[in-house]
């Protein structure tokens, strides 16, 4: 496929740190610009599947927990991707980018582990699958995350941005991408700065799951009834992570002291405090921007939490809006990102950059697995 230079249809899939399910989406791209958006689908994890994934967090390949999680991830991906492929009668979808489910992530340590084998999915689906996007970056000294900034750059161009702006993803972990759309491409010096901000939805989701049996604080209803514990928030904001110059990345279960600190609070106060912490992390992160931004566009589940969105807007003093105001799909943006990255991988383009992961030089990652011909 590398010899082709025009746009192709590609499909991407993402299973995020919120452990809610698998998003899958089709786009048309040449690896630089997006030319069209196609259908999308979502396959939620069942409560039992979610518990299997939770039990595997922090585990590395070879453990029984990691193997059980891999089966859940592969089955769920195969199901939702096959549903989309069933409508591809002309065989136009050239390849699939699969992120997998992050179980462990240790920059500077053991590396990174995303459950889900792309080679097995290629066999099950009969299509080329690009996967394991993070390893090459980490082998060259990068953080391995975040990976969506190349896609964010393409989207900034697509929506006609003419001044610096930022994309904020509020998943289990929060991350920011600062973009200069006037740069010639994502690999240009100064085009991008990206980094994880801190915990976002994960601590809230885990707290309401443990205490109330809920999957999230829907619409921020619980946080809206609570009071923020100022001492807990102040201690959180004093964490050394926020002083580190980006790029920088986190694992889902970093900041254990925050979780311990809200253990004695009421359900509502704990939710309010954890929500305020997620917002404060974004405010502290924005202090690292190379230049002010005109707006922040928000993707991920947190954009549906009006309490979190209000706290972020108040902290930044900027328009903080869901990406839908720009005509984009906040539920599918990360799945779309891995379709875009898959095309970049097979065409030999870099997928991460010094300004996004801290890697020494722009590098292309990803394993390419093709189904064995019958």
Model confidence at 101: pLDDT above 50? yes
How many Å apart are CA 333 and CA 331, to the nearest integer?
6
pLDDT of residue 2 exceeding 70: no
pLDDT score recorded for residue 253: 82
pLDDT for residue 374 = 63
Decide if 8-146+331-369 and 160-326 have a common fold.
yes
Are 76 and 42 a contacting pair, CB within 8 Å? no
- Confidence band (pLDDT; 50, 70, 90) for 107? confident
Could you give the percent of the chain with pLDDT greater than 70? 99
Task: Report CA-CA distances (Å) from 37 to 40, 165, 287, 332, 333.
Answer: 9, 22, 33, 10, 11
Average model confidence (pLDDT) for the chain?
94
CB 117 within 8 A of CB 98: no
- DSSP 8-state assignment for residue 363: B
Residue extents of the structural domains in the chain: 8-146+331-369, 160-326
Cα→Cα distances 161→119, 153, 154, 228, 249, Å: 38, 10, 10, 36, 26
Per-residue pLDDT averaged across 1-16, rounded?
82
Rg (C-alpha) for the chain, rounded Å, is 19
Q: How far apart are CA 160 and CA 152, in angstroms?
A: 12
Q: Is the distance from CB of 130 to CB of 367 less than 8 angstroms?
A: yes
- Provide the pLDDT confidence category of residue 373 given band limits of 50, 70 and 90: confident
Residue 88's pLDDT is 86
Rounded mean pLDDT, 296-321:
96
Rounded to an integer, the average pLDDT of 358-373 is: 92
Give the confidence band of 271 by pLDDT, cuts at 50, 70, 90.
Answer: very high
Among candidates 245, 145, 153, 254, which has minimal Cα distance to 198? 254
The two structure tokens encoding residue 259: 């979780």
pLDDT at 245: 94
The yes-or-no verdict on residue 3 having pLDDT over 60 is: no
Q: Say whether pLDDT at 145 is over 90.
A: no
Q: Break the chain down into helix, strand, coil percent, rounded to 5.
A: 40, 20, 40
Nearest partner of 347 among 39, 97, 71, judged by Cα: 97
pLDDT at 225 over 50: yes
Residues 6 or more apart in contact with residue 155 via CB below 8 angstroms: 34, 167, 328, 333
Inform me whether the pLDDT recorded for 270 exceeds 70.
yes
Q: Could you tell me the CA-to-CA distances from 351 to 57, 185, 244 in Å, in that order?
A: 26, 12, 23
Whole-angstrom distance, CA of residue 106 vs CA of residue 138: 10
The pLDDT tens digits of the residues spanning 109-126 come to 888 999 999 999 999 999
Tell me the pLDDT tens digit for each residue of 169-187: 999 899 999 999 999 999 9
Which class for 240: exposed (0-12), middle (13-18), buried (19 or more C-beta within 10 A)?
A: exposed
Candidates 158, 262, 145; CA nearest to 195 is: 145
Interval 322-341 mean pLDDT: 97
CA torsion angle 156 175 171 95 (round to 10): 50
pLDDT band at 1 (very low <50, low <70, confident <90, very high): very low
Q: CA-to-CA distance for 293 and 279, rounded, in angstroms?
A: 17
Task: Indicate the fold that domain 160-326 takes in CATH.
Answer: Nucleotidyltransferase; domain 5 (3.30.420)
CATH H-level superfamily of 8-146+331-369: ATPase, nucleotide binding domain (3.30.420.40)
Angle of CA points 354, 356, 362, to nearest 5°: 40
Residue reference for tokens 């003419």:
162
Q: List, for residues 243-253, the tens digit of each pLDDT value.
A: 999 999 888 88
């Amino acid at each position: 496929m590398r010899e082709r230079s025009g746009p192709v249809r590609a499909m991407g899939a993402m299973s995020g740190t919120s452990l809610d399910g698998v998003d899958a989406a089709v786009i048309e791209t040449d690896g630089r610009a997006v030319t069209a958006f196609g259908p999308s689908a979502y396959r939620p994890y069942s409560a039992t599947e979610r518990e299997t994934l939770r039990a595997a967090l922090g585990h590395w390949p070879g453990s029984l927990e990691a193997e059980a999680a891999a089966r859940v991830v592969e089955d769920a991906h195969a199901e939702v991707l096959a549903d989309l492929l069933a409508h591809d009668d002309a065989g136009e979808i050239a390849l699939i980018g699969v992120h997998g489910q992050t179980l462990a992530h240790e920059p500077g340590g053991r590396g990174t582990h995303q459950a889900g084998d792309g080679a097995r999915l290629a066999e099950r689906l009969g299509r080329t699958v690009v996967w394991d996007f993070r390893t090459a970056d980490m082998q060259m000294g990068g953080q391995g995350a975040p990976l969506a900034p190349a896609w964010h750059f393409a989207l900034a161009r697509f929506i006609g941005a003419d001044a610096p702006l930022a994309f904020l993803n509020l998943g289990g972990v929060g991350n920011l991408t600062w973009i200069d759309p006037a740069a010639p491409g994502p690999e240009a010096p100064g085009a991008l700065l990206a980094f994880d901000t801190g915990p976002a939805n994960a601590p809230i989701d885990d707290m309401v799951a443990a205490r109330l049996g809920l999957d999230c604080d829907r619409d921020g209803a619980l946080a809206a009834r609570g009071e923020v514990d100022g001492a807990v928030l102040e201690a959180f904001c004093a964490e050394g992570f926020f002083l580190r110059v980006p790029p920088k990345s986190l694992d889902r279960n970093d900041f254990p002291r925050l979780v311990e600190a809200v253990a004695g609070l009421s359900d509502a106060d704990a939710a309010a405090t954890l929500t305020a912490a997620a917002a404060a992390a974004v405010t502290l992160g924005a202090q690292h921007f190379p230049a002010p931004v005109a707006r922040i566009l928000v993707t991920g589940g947190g954009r549906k939490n009006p309490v979190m969105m209000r706290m972020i807007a108040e902290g930044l003093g900027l328009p903080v809006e869901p990406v839908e105001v720009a005509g984009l799909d906040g539920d599918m943006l990360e799945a779309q990102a891995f379709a875009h990255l898959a095309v970049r991988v097979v065409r030999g383009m870099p997928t991460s950059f010094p300004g996004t992961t801290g890697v020494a030089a722009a590098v292309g990652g990803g394993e390419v697995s093709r189904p064995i011909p019958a």
